[in-house]
Amino acid sequence: MRRNAKVGLGLMVLLATTVFAAEPLHPRLLLTPADVQLIRSELDPVSGFGQSLAATKARVDRYFESTPDVPVPVDPGGGYTHEKHKENGVAIHDAGILYQLTGDAGYAAHARDLLLAYADLYPALGRHPVKQSRTPGRLFWQSLNESVWLVYAIQGYDAIIDTLSREQRARIESGILRPLADFLSIESPEVFDQIHNHGTWAVAAVGMTGYVIGDQDYVLKALYGLKEDGQAGFIKQLDLLFSPDGYYAEGPYYQRYALMPFLLFARSIQTNDPEFGIFEYRDEVLLKAVYACVDLSYANLFFPVNDAIKDKGLDTVELRYGIAIAYALTSDPTLLSIAKIQKPYVLTGDGFHLAETVDAGSSKPYVYRSLVFRDGPAGDEGALVVLRNGGEPDQQAVVFKATSQGMGHGHFDKLNWLFYDNGREIVTDYGAARFLNVVLKNGGVYLPENTSWAKQTVAHNTLVVDERSHFDGDWNVGQQSHPRPLLFESNDNIQITAAEMRDAYSDVAFSRTIALLNGVVPDRAIVVDVLNVGSKNSHQYDLPLHFNGQIMVASPALADHGDVMRLLGTANGYQHLWSRASTFIDGKEMFSMTWLTTDRFYTLTTVAQDGLELILAELGANDPNFNLRREQALILRVKDVNAHTFVSVLEPHGEYNGPAELTTQSNSSITSLRRFHGGGADVIRITTDSGAEHFLALSYDPRADESHKVTVGDRTFVWQGYYGLFDEQGERK
């Protein structure tokens, strides 16, 4: 066996002394006899935990008013049998936990009866009749749901095991728990040994089952792979699926989802084998992963990069476990403010501790910061950068996506950016085209438009060359390269980041610099966005901006295309866009467009280097099943050039207060935007209506000690490193 010798040894010792002792103690996963004793003695029904317990109790009582159906599997996600089995798995868990926390033997009987029913059903089941998944299950159309079911059910079994006769235990273990664990492990090696969130769910289910039924082999396979050689399994997944900063390769949406089995299994390992030090492993990578989920959110919802359904955020069950466990490990009082937006508390020992501390009023605000999340197991495969203009959850934030591809759920959006302000999405990402579990929508799985639109480059706010997506839309190719981060700096005047990308197109390289700049307009920062692209060949370069809001005005006006809306293109996402209106500006001319997002105005100002076409596009063409939301984008387009620099500024301004009938500053403060070029460097000049001039000088050279110089009229700008920031008074940094 090849594995971490120290960890492995520690585990072997414990396996011999605890789980497999003559009288194993239960429960032994996320709840222990000591937890139960404490909770039962201290529980106050009007406390936060007491209310969470009461809510679960009410739900479970309702569920068991009649005997739950355990149907023969028929339906895909969202269908009756699918939802029923999901509910039953959770009900076994909940009833078991309620038995422990209330002492009411009726709950144990509910869990027992369901488990016995599954012990009768499961052995005779073949593969699920819905053939939509490459990894079908037996209870469910995909084996993933089967893993999730067992993660819940094994906790319920663990909670009631002491109430069962030897014969009942044998029936349950031989009828459902072992057959299911075997199905998920030795019978599904392509999932179990995969370095992927489906693999994590499988190893967690099997490993937790091993702890509960006292089968060491399940635990070892879960930790080290089917061959128990450390080339697969939980520890290898911890090594490869997270970056050193706790970033998960698929992005925050799947980071949340994967976190659940990581945390539940890790917490079970900690209960059974505390010497393992699982939460210390890899410089506390699991803890970093929990914090990363929080930091990769805005207004409590995750940044929807890659395949992501946009309604998921901090108030999901995964994060409720995550915050409870992270608080138990850190006693960080700012985590309590996250717990306060989550309901209910998880019914574990950590959940009780968290709830009691929140009730005691110990919460402090979580302070959001500008952060770099390196990507890749070694942290050298690009990065996701978050710039924030303040610590509160609704303040300005820029997301800069310079990550690796993120496997099959990755989007083709190298150097994409998003902007949030005032608690809202302003510059948006479509997320995934999917209505999760809605049978009417293709059975609830990813829709065809996820591939034809949502993943395509034009669905994002980044460069599209010749109307083709990055890597020509092949994620296996995308997986082989990643952007190179160039810069990240954050101070009171400026927060700035940059990266370059060379391999998205065979003959095109582009870099992008994005800055949140304070001191130009009152109270808020503006965003400066500079994208440089170059090729030895001539191309069409499109830079879309997907924006959320109602257009107020554009200057020069965007001219309607008459009385017919035509397609913008034919493939790679363009076939879904209507060309609504357009205009054209010559070199050095400015275009600006102002929109209103609920109660604040936003103006994009851009300056043309060469002639620049501006196209207002609306989403919804070639969508016969109405699978797409009706969204919009402004596309900046240059044609037949080798190189181009896109320079834009986005300014939040003013207020529209409908109820108070008050509107202020609906006009942008920015009166002029210019780019001055010299010797490979640029100076961007921003002039406001007060007459003040601000200059952002960019060398594009990440070496900190190199000096650069550009002369603009009678003024010479000299700075060191990637950028310099100047106003009338000289350089400020």
Contacts 24+ apart (CB under 8 A), 131-140: 132/76, 132/443, 132/445, 135/188, 135/190, 135/191, 135/198, 137/183, 138/73, 138/183, 139/73, 139/85, 140/73, 140/82, 140/85, 140/86
Does the protein bind its own copies through residue 622 (CB under 8 A)? yes
**Calpha distance 637→463 (Å, rounded):** 10
Taking CB under 8 A as the rule, does residue 69 contact its own copies? no
- Which is closer to its own copies, CB of 283 or CB of 311? 311
Q: How many CA atoms lie within 13 A of 115 on its CB side?
A: 33
563 touching its own copies, by CB under 8 A = yes
DSSP SS3 for 15: helix
Q: Which of 440, 586, 704, 714 binds its own copies (CB under 8 A)?
A: 440
Per-residue HEC secondary structure of 306-374 comes to CCCCCCCECCCHHHHHHHHHHHHHHCCCCHHHHHHCCCCCCCCHHHHHHHHHHHCCCCCCCCCCCEEEE
Q: Which of 61, 613, 618, 701 binds its own copies (CB under 8 A)?
A: 618
Among 4, 59, 71, 83, the residue binding its own copies under the rule CB under 8 A is 83
Using the structure block, give the residue that is written with the tokens 């390289």. Answer: 509
**Alpha helices, DSSP H only, in 45-79?**
48-63
Instruction: Kindly determine how many residues on this chain lie close enough to bind its own copies according to the rule CB under 8 A.
Output: 57
Binding segment (CB under 8 A) for its own copies, from list 66-74, 325-333, 370-378, 432-440? 432-440
Residue 567 touching its own copies (CB under 8 A): yes
CB of 448 to its own copies, least distance (A): 14
H/E stretch holding 592 reads strand 590-597
254 is catalytic: yes
How far apart CA 538 and CA 536 sit, in angstroms, is 7
- Is residue 309 within the footprint of its own copies (CB under 8 A)? yes
Beta carbons within 8 Å of 622's beta carbon, 6+ residues apart:
452, 567, 575, 576
Q: Which of 156, 246, 313, 652 binds its own copies (CB under 8 A)?
A: 313
470 is an interface residue for its own copies by CB under 8 A: no
Contact 464/458 with Cβ under 8 angstroms?
A: yes
Range in contact with its own copies (rule: CB under 8 A) among 403-411, 466-474, 476-484, 621-629: 621-629
Main-chain phi, psi angles of 451, to 5 degrees: -80, -45
317 phi and psi angles, rounded to 5 deg? -60, -35
For residues 271 and 264, the answer to whether their CB atoms sit within 8 Å is no
- Using CB under 8 A as the binding rule, whether residue 65 contacts its own copies is answered as no
Range in contact with its own copies (rule: CB under 8 A) among 68-76, 268-276, 564-572, 699-707: 564-572
Residue with Cβ nearer its own copies (124 or 626): 626
How far apart are the C-alpha atoms of 615 and 102, rounded to whole Å? 63
CB nearer its own copies, residue 86 or residue 637: 86
Is 263 within 8 Å of 279 (Cβ atoms)?
no
User: Cβ(158)–Cβ(177) under 8 Å?
Assistant: no
- Applying CB under 8 A, the span of 23-31, 42-50, 485-493, 616-624 interacting with its own copies comes to 616-624
Smallest distance from its own copies to CB 614, Å: 14
Q: Which stretch binds its own copies (CB under 8 A): 123-131, 219-227, 258-266, 548-556?
A: 548-556
For residue 617, the tally of other CB atoms under 10 A from its CB is 26
**Residue 311 binding its own copies, by CB under 8 A:** yes
- Tell whether residue 551 is a contact of its own copies (CB under 8 A): yes
Which listed residue (93, 196, 409, 482) is catalytic? 409
Q: What is the largest CA-CA distance in the chain?
A: 93
Catalytic-role residue among 122, 254, 281, 541 = 254
Binding of its own copies by 653 (CB under 8 A): no
When binding is defined by CB under 8 A, the residue of 37, 451, 476, 625 that contacts its own copies is: 625
560 binds its own copies (CB under 8 A): yes
Peptide bond just before 556 cis, omega within 30 deg: yes
Residue 315 as a binder of its own copies (CB under 8 A): the answer is: yes
Least distance to its own copies, CB of residue 563, Å? 5
Taking CB under 8 A as the criterion, the residue among 24, 71, 78, 333 binding its own copies is: 78
The separation between CA 716 and the C-alpha centre of its own chain, rounded to angstroms, equals 44
Cis peptide before 27 (omega within 30 of 0): yes
Is it true that the peptide bond before 344 is cis, omega within 30 degrees of 0?
Answer: yes
Segment lying near its own copies (by CB under 8 A), choices 27-35, 107-115, 305-313, 323-331: 305-313
Quick note: the x/- pattern for its own copies over 574-613, rule CB under 8 A, is ----x-xx------------x-x-----------------
Considering the rule CB under 8 A, would residue 117 count as an interface residue with its own copies?
no
Sheet hosting strand 730-731, strand order edge to edge: 670-678, 681-688, 693-698, 723-727, 730-731
Q: Does 409 bind its own copies (CB under 8 A)?
A: no
Residues 6 or more apart whose CB falls under 8 angstroms from that of 709 comprise 678, 679, 681, 716, 717, 718
| Residues found in the chain | 733
- What phi and psi, each to the nearest 5 degrees, are found at residue 637? -130, 130
Instruction: State the residue for tokens 């001219």.
Output: 559
Q: Pick one of 377, 620, 678, 721: the residue that binds its own copies (CB under 8 A).
A: 620
Which residues inside 354-393 make contact with its own copies, applying CB under 8 A? none
Of 271-279, 561-569, 645-653, 717-725: span binding its own copies (CB under 8 A): 561-569
Which of 12, 55, 186, 438 is close enough to bind its own copies by CB under 8 A?
A: 438
Contact between 299 and its own copies per CB under 8 A:
no
Which residue in 9, 72, 559, 718 binds its own copies (CB under 8 A)? 559
Which of 194, 437, 490, 548 forms a contact with its own copies (CB under 8 A)?
437
By beta-carbon proximity to its own copies, the closer residue of 13 and 571 is 571
Residue 714 interacts with its own copies (CB under 8 A): yes or no: no
Given 663, 671, 687, 720, the residue binding its own copies (CB under 8 A): 663
Binding mask 494-533 for its own copies (x = CB under 8 A): ----------------------------------------
Q: Report the SS3 class of residue 79.
A: coil
Residues recognised as catalytic: 254, 409
User: Can you give the binding site for its own copies, defined by CB under 8 A?
Assistant: 78, 83, 309, 311-313, 315-317, 435-441, 444, 550-554, 557-560, 563-567, 578, 580-581, 594, 596, 618, 620-626, 629-630, 632, 656, 658-664, 666-667
